Structure 1
Amino acid sequence: MGVYLFFIGAFDVKYCGEYNRHAHVWMESLSCQLIGSLALLSTEVSVMMLTYMTLEKYVCIVFPFHHYRAGRKRTLCSLTSIWALGFVLALAPFCDRNTFGNFYGRNGVCFPLHSDQAEKPGARCYSTGIFLGLNLFAFILIVFSYSSMFYSIQKTAKSARQTTFDLEVSVAKRFFFIVFTDAMCWIPIFLLKILSLLQVQITGTLILWVVIFILPINSALNPILYTITTSAFQERLRVCVRFRCMDNH
């Protein structure tokens, strides 16, 4: 996502003041297609990975006495499958130009969010299936999983005091903030996609704000929430600072 934003900014500087003269060439260019597919890859892998991690926590907390625990091999297989599916979703529009048309070049930011009457039916169905199918299903699944987890936590809080269970609870609370930030990012995306399908007039400026400022927020916040807020990271940071201070003395 950072690479996508960097190239969007670079081409914005390149065409500054004369974009209208180069708009058609830019949206038809290979550069626009590639960075658009990179942005879609980033968003879809992020959604699927968050869903996978949520389901892992759901099994651990709602069924604490279940013996299922994802090992290294199972985790690697799951993550490999997520990345493979992400590449398939991002690169599929390149396979059939007649069906998808200029899938990534519908707007200046090269992201296939807005649907219009000139868009090919295959491309419209594909983008709708991604944003209002896969992503909305993942969002609902995550909300349901966390609702079940916190209900289970509240139900067993008085009787269960195991250290392992308390650790799982703290991880679930941390993941809640991840889901909350993702919800704040994705709800505008869902609404914008629905409005575009209903052929409601949407200004191009609004699409730019959503894609450039709202969509990358979870890509920026998730690494922070996954690492800095964990007790393991904070403990290692304290150890590193302690050793650095000892070396300086």
Structure 2
Amino acid sequence: DLEGNQIKYLTNSTFLSCDSLTVLFLPRNQIDFVPEKTFSSLKNLEELDLSSNMIMELPSHLFKDLKRLQKLNLSSNPLLYLHKNQFESLKQLQSLDLKRIEIPNINTRMFQPMRNLSHIYFKNFQYCSYASHVRICMPLTDGISSFEDLLANNILRIFVWVIAFITCFGNLLVIGMRSFIKAENTTHAMSIKILCCADCLMGVYLFFVGFFDIKYRGQYQKYALLWMESLQCRLIGFLAMLSTEVSVLLLTYLTLEKFLVIVFPFSNIRPGKRQTLVILIGIWMVGFLIAVIPFWNEDYFGNFYGKNGVCFPLYYDQTEDIGSKRYSLGIFLGVNLLAFLIIVFSYITMFCSIQKTTLQTAEVRNHIGREVAVANRFFFIVFSDAICWIPVFVTKILSLFQVEIPDTITSWIVIFFLPVNSALNPILYTLTTSFFKDKLKQLLHKHRRKSTFKIKKKSLSTSIVWTDDSSSLKRGVLKKISLGDSIMKQVS
């Protein structure tokens, strides 16, 4: 045991006369390099611990002669690279510790030769998918998936279906209502329906996540790598990204539209129906491009959407391709953060403009009154967006500075915070508005009147039939009485 002895270097002859050695502990030293033949004489070595040193690179055939090695600990070293054949000679290895080590070039070939390996310890749960034949892999979860299930948390499993149903049902209901009930501002109604379509895609994404969670239940780790690299995973990740980006861009446009109307009430800057249609098509095209660009160059972006079981590129680690990191940061801390700041600035300016205005005429009040009501409603939509997006921005900023983020936080952001905004939007911008409340009351009142009229009409028809039948009965009785009298007279 040579732990903590401030050993700085090893040579090829350091253990030359230690051929009977079975256990070698060298943790917490200052070793920064290990020559290729350092352990060549240790034929009987069964346990080797090189943890907590300063080793940045290991020679490819360093462990070539350690045929009997059963436990190897390389944790807490600043290793930059592991060779594909690094462990191919370790046929008897049972435990491998690689905790707190980033492995940028990790692949399944590294661990396949170790068929007796029963325990492996990684820094990231995602690495476990590259050693699916190992019985016990740590950590057990990344906060989203576990060794057995795509969604590790029972609460997340329930939430994914509930939010998916609420999101799809709510947005489809709003699209139907907006199509059936004629609005005063048709261009605004069109924008809301397009926003509902974008939010509905998030519900579709969640339904797919729930479906594949059921499909891989109890055996996820066996298929984890295949799933994350599959076309299905990439496509549902594409849907989620398209939904979030179109939603963010649409809310920014709607906010700027209200900003121009309220801050400059008499200007003619407000877009018409044709201009609005062009803007909406442009927003969808930009959202589509943002979501599809990672498919174009896999060498640069890597598997952009397949970084976790839910196929959403929210956070990254050091193994991620440089292009993927830059693009992810550019979208979340560039486009989305800029949109969020524009929305916040616009609403602050709008409310300051309303409070500071000195115009008192009824004409101006009537002109901006309706727009203020709409702005108040959109404020709550933006506020819900802020609640959803602030955790995303904080997570991205922390990951940029390589701060360790608890796995459970990222899982709740992906499954709950982002999608719940799409589920709440229909309530905020349609179902709670005074216009739609009034229209709904009118429809219900009209339906009630029709029902009452039908009941009265049916009752009246029944009365007429009964009266006619009664009259006929009376005439029949009178005829019978008259006939009886005539017979009696004849008899008498």
Map 1:171-190; keep pairs closer than 5 Å: 171-190=374-393
Determine the C-alpha separation between the residues in 1 that align with 2:406 and 2:219.
20
Shift of 1:158: 6.2
Give the conservation status (yes or no) of the 8 Å contact 1:37–1:90: yes
Shift of 1:203: 3.8
Matching residue of 1:44: 245
Q: What amino acid is aligned across from residue 341 of structure 2 in structure 1?
A: I
Determine the C-alpha separation between the residues in 1 that align with 2:337 and 2:410.
19
Determine the C-alpha separation between the residues in 1 that align with 2:263 and 2:369.
13
Does residue 1:230 correspond to 2:433, yes or no?
yes
Match of 2:233 among 22, 28, 32: 32
Does residue 1:140 correspond to 2:341, yes or no?
yes
Shift of 1:157: 6.4
Stretch moving more, 231-240 or 8-17: 231-240
Match of 2:397 among 185, 194, 197: 194
Does residue 1:81 correspond to 2:282, yes or no?
yes
Question: Greater share of helix residues, 1 or 2?
Answer: 1
Three-state SS of the structure 2 residue aligned to 1:201 is: coil
Match of 1:216 among 419, 424, 440: 419
Unmatched 5+ residue regions in structure 2?
Answer: 1-201, 453-492
Match of 1:159 among 360, 383, 393: 360
Matching residue of 2:321: 120
Provide, for residues 57-93 of structure 1, a one-character-per-residue CA deviation record: whole Å limited to 9, x for no partner.
0000001121222100010000000001111011111
Stretch moving more, 12-21 or 83-92: 12-21
C-alpha distance 26-160 of structure 1, shift in aligned 2 (>3 A): farther
Give the conservation status (yes or no) of the 8 Å contact 2:265–2:367: no
Matching residue of 2:31: none
Give the conservation status (yes or no) of the 8 Å contact 2:258–2:371: yes
Give the conservation status (yes or no) of the 8 Å contact 2:263–2:353: yes
Determine the C-alpha separation between the residues in 2 that align with 1:8 and 1:203.
22
Does residue 1:64 correspond to 2:265, yes or no?
yes
Q: What amino acid is aligned across from residue 245 of structure 1 in structure 2?
A: R
Provide, for residues 135-156 of structure 1, a one-character-per-residue CA deviation record: whole Å limited to 9, x for no partner.
0000001000000000000012
Q: What amino acid is aligned across from residue 409 of structure 2 in structure 1?
A: L
Three-state SS of the structure 2 residue aligned to 1:200 is: coil
Give the conservation status (yes or no) of the 8 Å contact 1:178–1:225: yes
Determine the C-alpha separation between the residues in 1 that align with 2:350 and 2:405.
38
Unmatched 5+ residue regions in structure 1?
Answer: none
Q: What amino acid is aligned across from residue 136 of structure 1 in structure 2?
A: L
Provide, for residues 186-219 of structure 1, a one-character-per-residue CA deviation record: whole Å limited to 9, x for no partner.
0001011111222222344332211011101211
Give the conservation status (yes or no) of the 8 Å contact 1:116–1:197: no
Provide, for residues 147-178 of structure 1, a one-character-per-residue CA deviation record: whole Å limited to 9, x for no partner.
00000000126625421211111111111111
Matching residue of 2:446: 243
Give the conservation status (yes or no) of the 8 Å contact 1:109–1:208: no
Determine the C-alpha separation between the residues in 2 that align with 1:149 and 1:248.
46
Identity of aligned residues (%): 58
Determine the C-alpha separation between the residues in 2 that align with 1:13 and 1:196.
31
Q: What amino acid is aligned across from residue 122 of structure 1 in structure 2?
A: G
C-alpha distance 160-16 of structure 1, shift in aligned 2 (>3 A): farther
Give the paired residue count: 249
- TM-score, with structure 1 as normaliser: 0.97
Three-state SS of the structure 2 residue aligned to 1:215 is: helix
Shift of 1:104: 0.0
Stretch moving more, 202-211 or 161-170: 202-211
Does residue 1:6 correspond to 2:207, yes or no?
yes
Shift of 1:95: 0.7
Q: What amino acid is aligned across from residue 228 of structure 2 in structure 1?
A: M
Three-state SS of the structure 2 residue aligned to 1:133 is: helix
Q: What amino acid is aligned across from residue 302 of structure 2 in structure 1?
A: G
Determine the C-alpha separation between the residues in 1 that align with 2:375 and 2:349.
11
Provide, for residues 8-30 of structure 1, a one-character-per-residue CA deviation record: whole Å limited to 9, x for no partner.
01111111122122111110011
Determine the C-alpha separation between the residues in 2 that align with 1:105 and 1:204.
17
Shift of 1:232: 2.0
Higher relative contact order (CA 8 A, sep 6+): 1
Q: What amino acid is aligned across from residue 56 of structure 1 in structure 2?
A: E
